[in-house]
Amino acid sequence: MTNPGKGIYDPAFVKDLFDRCSTKYILFSYVCSMGFTERWRRECVDALPQTHDTPETCYDLMAGTGEIWPHVLKRYPDLKKVVAVDISSGMHKRALKRLHEMRSDKIGFIEDDVLASNLPAASADLIVSTFGLKTFNSDQHQKLAELTASTLKAGGSFCFIEASDPKGWWLRPLYIFYLKQVLPMVEKVFLKGARDFAMIGTYSTNFGDASNLAAQLRAEGLDVTFRKHFFGCATSVSGRRPVA
């Protein structure tokens, strides 16, 4: 059983968790979100501000199973490369096997803790991230904000989206019950007693929403827009690095 203790934001813990989840992640996340994860991935790409130049390189941070790649490549058909950065080798192998065998010429992969990676400065036209923010604490979000600011080219754009705690929504108690009670029960019954996906509820409620990250990104000199999606069940931050 997964131990949701102090170490849940430790990179080794996160890698082990998602390596175990990788074979069931695509189906479980789609079915248990009732399709909203796919909708929010599309909205993430749609929210990317227009870049000043034709984008050539996109970084997908905490890339997981790479389900955002088709949306990115549809909007930017002339994109030369999507560089996927993820700590879990299991998630990436699942992505290539299940979704993207025909796109392997455009997909590069870095298996690494994104916050410890050596991404070159001013090397990305686009940066996206879907459903990886919740696995970071506030200090790690600060490092992510610094990485985003340093990695984006001038005029480059970004969008990050994450499942969030919809505080103030009158149906929030039902939503939290679903995250913390229903999903673990589904996992217990259909995934032979595993408790890994039950961490989604813990991570999401600990995360809150993306408003703190928005402030951290602004402090790094980026133009930032914060949005709520479906009453705050997901939130996003998008924007660009200003042209000097």
d(CA 240, CA 125): 10
Q: Is residue 222 part of a domain?
A: yes
Under a CB-based contact definition with an 8 Å cutoff, are residues 128 and 18 in contact? no
- Amino acid 190: pLDDT: 54
Q: What is the mean pLDDT of residues 226-235?
A: 92
Q: Is residue 233 part of a domain?
A: yes
Collect all residues with Cβ–Cβ distance below 8 Å to 116 and sequence separation of at least 6.
11
Cα 14–84–22 angle (5° rounding)?
Answer: 45
pLDDT in tens, 132-184: 999 999 999 999 999 999 999 999 999 999 988 888 877 777 776 766 666 66
Q: Is residue 91 part of a domain?
A: yes
Q: What is the mean pLDDT of residues 74-99?
A: 83
- What are the backbone dihedrals phi and psi of residue 205, each rounded to the nearest 5 degrees, phi first? -70, -35
Q: Is it the case that residue 61 has pLDDT exceeding 70?
A: yes
Return the CATH number at 83: 3.40.50.150
pLDDT in tens, 114-127: 999 889 999 999 99
Model-level pTM? Answer: 0.86
- Amino acid 27: pLDDT: 54
Q: Is residue 221 part of a domain?
A: yes
If one counts the domains in the chain, the total is 1
Burial label for 169, CB within 10 Å (0-12, 13-18, 19+), is middle
Side-chain-side CA neighbours of 168 within 13 Å: the count stands at 7
Q: Is residue 1 part of a domain?
A: no
Q: Is residue 32 part of a domain?
A: yes
In terms of DSSP bridges, do strands 124-130 and 57-61 run parallel, antiparallel, or are they unpaired? parallel
What is the three-class DSSP state of 198?
coil
Domain that holds residue 60: 6-240
pLDDT in tens, 101-114: 656 678 888 889 99
